[in-house]
Amino acid sequence: MRTLVLNAGYEPIAVVSDRRALVLILNGKAAAIEADNVHPLRTVDAEYARPRVILLNRYVRIPMARRNPVSRKGVLRRDNHTCGYCGKFANTIDHVMPRSRGGKDSWENLVAACLRCNNVKGDRTPQEMGWELRRTPGSPTPRQWQVRGVERRDTVEWAAYLEPERLVA
């Protein structure tokens, strides 16, 4: 199972395994805010509530928080593997302004695209194809980029800590 880690200021910073979270708690580096008593973690000597959300005791400064390097994996993650043209599952990336026409490898010029749309578009612009982008591509927000694993909100306990008002997205 997975555990959400909150910085001392209650901002989400990571998702770790429940075992790693328990080690942080037992070493006095974090405190459990939400825990699952129904499915405890057992050791030879003891039984512990499975942590679902933990709060670090000290504030941890996140290095390189403002810098988001462009990558294929990053573009697919930013666009949630959804084609920017048709909305289907995407596993490739496309340059909105083709590289052959001077398009750069930047967050603003790259979108996730399904293989079909990418091949049909070729080295043309969406305007030449009569297509519209479903969303304007841009650099992901630092908070969205820092917390890997929160895309899948499969944990009810996390909802209060990942609300849109709290999480800049």
Domains in the chain: ranges and CATH = 2-64+142-161 (no CATH), 72-129 (1.10.30.50)
Q: How far separated are the first and last CA of the chain, in Å rounded?
A: 25
pLDDT of amino acid 77: 85
Closest to 93 (Cα-Cα) out of 118, 120, 116, 130: 118
- What does the pLDDT average to over 19-23? 93
Residue 75 or 145, more confident: 75
- The predicted model gives 66-85 an average pLDDT of 85
pLDDT for res 159: 72
pTM score of the predicted model: 0.57
Rounded average pLDDT over 82-88: 95
Grade residue 12 by pLDDT with cuts at 50, 70 and 90: confident
